[in-house]
Amino acid sequence: MIKTNALRIGAFLIAAAAVIIWSCNNGSNASVLAPMPADKPLLPRADTNAIPAGKYGEMVRYGRALMMNTAYYIGPEGVSGKYLGNRMNCTNCHQDAGTKPFSFNLMLSHAQYPQYRAREGKVLTLAERVNNCVTRPHNGKPLPLDSREMVAFLSYFRWINSFVTQDRSYKGGHNLDITFPAVAASPERGKALYQQHCARCHGPEGAGQASGLTYVYPPLWGPYGYQPGSSMHRVIKQAQWLKANMPYDKATWEKPFLTDEEALDIAAYVNDDSIHPRPDVKNYDYPYKEEKAIDYDKGPFADTFSARQHKYGPFQPIISYWENKCLKAVY
């Protein structure tokens, strides 16, 4: 009996290995590796009228207020504590307080943590992940894990998570896909496009437009923008987000305004540290170099491409390099 089971398991393993080799040999095209299910529903709206009464509801409401008016509560002059190093709000990137599809949406997050994170090379709780954004894009110091503010963020994330079903994926939970041009993204072309499409709100020097304790239009670089260690500083990541969300008054995920190439060029310009210095913080990220996102521009790299190519592309050769090793490039 034991023998038969062992044989069966053995046969299964051989079959499984054959499937892996077979699919890898057929995997030179990324779309073969990751088919898009056609029936993915769009993320539902989180109905703010449905926030429950009582103590938990109070925390959900405060969490939502923190997402929207982060600088007011916990900014450099925050009324609840001085944690952030700049006056941006979480909702500047996680639009509609983390509920807008294709805008670094946070509705699925609560159920997906603790989670292994390659950037830190360890398993993080959702609270620790919140602090990554407090310290990096907001250039601040971490919220104490038992603070009222952290509990409010987590309560809010649990509440927005209650509108989705855990065992399925949604349209809008991840970024919009972009196709990669054969040429590298160009900060020079990006500069002209930026002046044409972005400067009217974010200013010709990317400084944004301040208003009281925060901004009407947040800064894109300079001492009060996000840090180089932020995911927004990665050219592919930002380009995907820009495609669905900017210019603010023109783009929607259903009808993007920028072409993929324009979004990459603009992201290259915004994130070019040689023209746009940012708060200089040394983050020792990705302890395992083979887990690095391909658009993360600090070496050492596990592949043969230069730091410049990791930053600006062309990205397709990097993606193919990893696929030829039967591995999916992360970005």
User: Using alpha carbons only, what angle is made at residue 19 by residues 16 and 21, rounded to the nearest 5 degrees?
Assistant: 110
Taking the C-alpha atoms of residue 211 and residue 208, their distance in angstroms, rounded to an integer, is: 10
Assess 235 for contact with ligand HEC (CB under 6 A). no
User: Restricting to residues 83-102, which ones interact with ligand HEC according to CB under 6 A?
Assistant: 88, 90-95
For residue 250, give the nearest of 196, 187, 331, 185 by alpha carbon: 196
Q: Which is nearer to ligand HEC, 27 or 229 (CB)?
A: 229
Compose the 201-220 pattern: x for residues touching ligand HEC by CB under 6 A, - for all others.
xx--------------xxxx
**Total site size for ligand HEC, rule CB under 6 A:** 43
Distance CA 48, CA 79 (A): 24
Interacting residues of 146 by C-beta distance below 8 A, sequence separation 6+: none
Residues 269-298 touching ligand HEC, rule: CB under 6 A, are: 270
> Least Å distance between CB 130 and ligand HEC?
5
The contacts of residue 182 (CB under 8 Å, 6+ apart) are 314, 316
Counted residue by residue, the chain has a size of 331
Shortest Å, Cβ 78 to ligand HEC: 11
Q: How far is the CB of 30 from ligand HEC (least distance, A)?
A: 17
Measured CA angle at 287 (ends 126, 129), to 5 deg: 10
Task: Say how far residue 190 (Cα) sits from the centre of its chain.
Answer: 21
> Contacting ligand HEC (CB under 6 A), which of 62, 73, 102, 153?
153
> Which residue number, 201 or 213, has a Cβ lying nearer to ligand HEC?
201
| Residue 133 interacting with ligand HEC (CB under 6 A) | yes
CB 114 within 8 A of CB 102: no
Task: Summarize as ranges the residues that interact with ligand HEC (CB under 6 A).
Answer: 70, 88, 90-95, 104, 106, 109, 112, 126, 129-130, 133-134, 137-138, 153, 175, 197-198, 200-202, 217-220, 226, 230-232, 237, 242, 246-249, 258, 266, 270
